[in-house]
Amino acid sequence: MASGTDKPLVSLKDVRFAYGEREILSGVDLEVPRGKVIGIMGGSGSGKTTLLRLIGGQLQASSGTVDVAGQDLSRLTTAEMYALRRRMGMLFQFGALFTDMSVFDNVAFPLREHTRLPPELVHDLVLMKLNAVGLRGAAKLKPSELSGGMARRVALARAVALDPMLIMYDEPFAGLDPISLGVIGQLIRRLNDALGASTIMVTHDVMESLLIVDYVYFVSEGRIVAQGTPDQIRASKDPFVHQFINAEADGPVPFHYPAPPIGESLLGQERT
């Protein structure tokens, strides 16, 4: 029988989710082993961010089970869910820093909100987190004084302020220049390994992600359509994977949203 440490930190089994009649996820099975970095890739609107919200407890699955750290999220009380969330870190797309707070106060926020640590210890912990992302010298700056890459690194320091067991990233590379993108990618990998955490990263950036992840899931139309290690993905002959990693317009994922023939739309009659 597997021990608790052998079980995946996150497990989704036959998960379905819908907004009313519109189905977003349809029968998703996914696992996040402890200590690993897992990538989730797919086109816009495929359900990637919805997966993060289900794992974080902001949404509840229509059916199936979402298990985090051995707990079925559908069975948790509100207080139990909040307690579990304190063991998660989240880096939102574009950072989502508090604009009226300094860099220091942004990183200190979760420590002040969720702990009763003395101010002296909070001070030291914040400087340690900022030092880990190379921004200890920027502690007094406001977000408006930071570049995009610096802001993302501050958001990363805030995401790991409580030494979470699970770190989730929603498009961490969006809008970054190549240098900043490489720096953030390596920070994600190093912080995950240093904390002994597990990481889930939703991203469109295939090449950078394959350098740091341990395993990849591809999502299309609410389903897992392909998965594998970086080496397996690079060597894959799967049409969806090939289209995605080569950024091809033609393939299993259509470029055009379903619509009547252009002749009908422009002329009001069927094409002959």
- 47's torsion region: left (phi>0), alpha (psi -120 to 50) or beta? left
d(CA 39, CA 51): 12
Question: Do 173 and 58 have their domain in common?
Answer: yes
Q: Give percent of the chain with pLDDT exceeding 70.
A: 90
Is 187:169 a contact under the CB 8 Å cutoff?
no
Question: Do 1 and 74 have their domain in common?
Answer: yes
d(CA 261, CA 253): 18
Beta strands 215-220 and 198-202 are unpaired
Going from the C-alpha of 10 to that of each of 14, 134, 214, the distances in angstroms are 13, 30, 15
Beta strands 22-32 and 71-72 are unpaired
Kindly give, in sequence order, each residue whose CB lies less than 8 Å from that of residue 26, ignoring residues fewer than 6 positions away: 16, 221, 222, 223
Residue 142 pLDDT: 93
Question: Do 30 and 126 have their domain in common?
Answer: no
d(CA 261, CA 218): 30
Question: Do 174 and 150 have their domain in common?
Answer: no
Residue 166 pLDDT: 93
Question: Do 176 and 262 have their domain in common?
Answer: yes
Residue 172 pLDDT: 83
d(CA 228, CA 200): 15
Question: Do 81 and 151 have their domain in common?
Answer: no
Residue 54 pLDDT: 94
Is 54:17 a contact under the CB 8 Å cutoff?
yes
Question: Do 72 and 172 have their domain in common?
Answer: yes
Is 192:167 a contact under the CB 8 Å cutoff?
yes
* 264, two tokens: 């009908």
Is 256:264 a contact under the CB 8 Å cutoff?
no
Question: Do 170 and 153 have their domain in common?
Answer: no
Residue 1 pLDDT: 36
Specify the 3-state DSSP secondary structure of 195.
helix
Residue 198 pLDDT: 94
Give every residue of the chain whose pLDDT is below 70, as ranges.
1-5, 94-95, 246-258, 268-272
Question: Do 154 and 170 have their domain in common?
Answer: no
Kindly give, in sequence order, each residue whose CB lies less than 8 Å from that of residue 193, ignoring residues fewer than 6 positions away: 35
Supply the Cα-derived Rg of the chain in whole angstroms: 21
Single-letter amino acid, residue 4: G
Tally of domains within the chain: 2
Is 73:67 a contact under the CB 8 Å cutoff?
yes
DSSP symbol at 144: G
Question: Do 5 and 57 have their domain in common?
Answer: yes
Question: Do 29 and 122 have their domain in common?
Answer: no
